[in-house]
Structure 1
Amino acid sequence: MIPISGMGTQVGLNLIDATREKQLTLIAKTAQNARAIQGFRDRIGSVQTVDDLMADQDLYAFVMRAFDLEDQIFGKGLMKKVLQSDLSDPKSLVNRLTDPRFRELHKELAFVANGTFTTRTKQKYWQDLTVDRFVERAFINGAADQNESVGDILEFRERVGGVKTWFDVLKKPALGRFMRRALGIPDEAVRLDIDRQAKLFEAKYDIKKLQDPAELRKLERKFAAISDALDTSRLQQNGAIQMLTGILNASGGGQFVPITLDLEAISSLPRSPYR
């Protein structure tokens, strides 16, 4: 991937957006990913049961990565039970787990009869979509590994369409982190129980606004600005700040200390009647 480590959030995001299609193509063509994609296309059509999928480690790992479940690859026992669950039964395991990724995987693989049959894996359009998922996930994870704030924005874009309630936000750590920072909610709020966190968000923001593309861009800009303001390492790398610090030190004036101002709050203050 194009390096974005050490960049400001907005600068890194702009670079990612400008080179997105090229980077997706390059990711798909790396030797390791190209082999994995070809192996998936060659063998996924023969998978009809959960046991078939579990028996092919490379195929199973590919599917798990495509659905953002890489952290669960070694939990085969749990995954088998999840995929054998009855999606229509509210009491089944897949519906009792709070992480929406499990339900999404089950729905997309479409195993029925306790995981003993599916026709989804033979459908070319589904295979193509799963390959796209795999490449997209590699793209997001690669960006996040270099620049966590950029990764959080990409994760927000990926998931925000499925957000209906604040619980949907809180189930995904990156989404929760994004919304807390964009709305000015302290990270310490994660120590509260999930119901209190949801009420805190409700009091702060109308979740229906997330349906407005302009509002999403506004949240991204606020998140980027706050993230960079909180990142002291980037402040130290800022050329203007380094120059000011050097001038102050040379004149015996001490050290330049940057401060963060809440411009939105300031702009909302009543204007002086004497202007």
Structure 2
Amino acid sequence: MIVSSATSSILGLRIADSVEPASRDLIRSSAQHSRAIAYFSENIESVNSVDELIADPDLYSFVMRAFDLEDQIFGKGLISKMLKSDIEDRTALINRLTDPRFKELYAALDFGEGGVGNTNTISETWQKSVIDRYVTRQFIDVQSDSNETVGIALEYREKISSVQNVFDILKDQDLSKVIRTAFGIPDGTAGLDIDRQAEILLDKIDIDELKKPDEIDRVMKRFAMISDALSGAAASANPAVQILQSSNAFVPVTIDLAAITSIPSNPYR
């Protein structure tokens, strides 16, 4: 699979976009992932409860990876209790977990009361949506391993369309990082009261505008450019700089961060 290593993040995004269709096909046809996808397709329809899902390590792992919860696979007790909890109960575990990935998994699986009963698993449309999520997750993970900035930008593209309000952004690490960077909001604001953070973001963004394809692309590119400028990644990936470095030549470089990060108080006004 072609990845975006050893390039600027802007070039990395272009590479990721150009190879994505072929990369997805390669993921689906690879021995490891094709077996996992086939097993899921053949067996998930028999799952009717949380206990049945967790009892099958292959199905359980597939679903967890599809929802970007691979780091939580070993927490079966927590996942079981969360999926069986009643979202209508404000004190239920599902409502006390702040990581948005858990609610996304909970809503997508949608088990019945006490974690028993499920009609989603027999739906071919639902099965396809989970498989697509799994393939997307593998693609983003590979890109992220090679260039973290590219991975975060791709995460932003996947998530922003489902955002309903500013708090959906604030509770998601990837979304909030992209927005703060692209709109010139200091990282230190993340330590402020949540309502104050919301005020700061709403002074800069318009949720509906953020979901438009052209704006998604613009924000991703801006995030990539500013991230590289702040980290020096763009310079280190430049062949001319690499040649000069190998010749031990001293080359003073000035980056005008104020010019790069400057943005109107609200570009949508």
Same fold (TM over 0.5): yes
Q: Structure 2 stretches of 5 or more lacking a match? A: 265-269
Q: CA deviation at 1:86?
A: 2.0
Shift of the 267–28 alpha-carbon distance from structure 1 to 2, 3 Å rule, reads closer
Query: Percent identical across equivalent pairs?
Result: 45
Counterpart code for 2:82: V
Q: CA deviation at 1:17?
A: 0.7
Tell whether the 8 Å contact from 1:241 to 1:256 is kept in structure 2 after alignment: no
1:118 maps to 118
Equivalent of 2:253 in 253, 257, 273: 257
Tell whether the 8 Å contact from 2:7 to 2:237 is kept in structure 1 after alignment: no
1:57-96, aligned counterparts within 5 Å? 57-96=57-96
1:99 maps to 99
2:223 maps to 223
Which of the pair has more CA radius of gyration?
A: 1
Count the aligned residue pairs. 264
Q: Are residues 1:156 and 2:156 paired?
A: yes
Tell me: higher relative CO, structure 1 or 2? Use CA pairs within 8 A at least 6 residues apart.
Answer: 2
Shift of the 110–206 alpha-carbon distance from structure 1 to 2, 3 Å rule, reads closer
- Aligned equivalents of 1:132 and 1:230: distance in 2? 34
1:196 maps to 196
Q: Structure 1 stretches of 5 or more lacking a match? A: 269-275
1:145 maps to 145
Residues 193-232 of structure 1: CA distance to partner in whole angstroms, max 9, x if unpaired? 4333222222333334213332222212211211121222
Tell whether the 8 Å contact from 2:45 to 2:122 is kept in structure 1 after alignment: yes
1:273 maps to none
Residues 136-173 of structure 1: CA distance to partner in whole angstroms, max 9, x if unpaired? 11111111111111111110111001112222112111
2:267 maps to none
Tell whether the 8 Å contact from 1:44 to 1:59 is kept in structure 2 after alignment: yes
Residues 46-95 of structure 1: CA distance to partner in whole angstroms, max 9, x if unpaired? 11111101111111011111111112111111111111112344443223
Shift of the 145–245 alpha-carbon distance from structure 1 to 2, 3 Å rule, reads closer
Shift of the 225–188 alpha-carbon distance from structure 1 to 2, 3 Å rule, reads same
1:272 maps to none
- Aligned equivalents of 2:262 and 2:30: distance in 1? 49
What TM-score results when the alignment is normalised by the length of structure 2?
0.88
For the residue of structure 2 that corresponds to 1:204, the secondary structure is coil
Counterpart code for 1:224: A
For the residue of structure 1 that corresponds to 2:25, the secondary structure is helix
For the residue of structure 2 that corresponds to 1:114, the secondary structure is helix
2:187 maps to 187
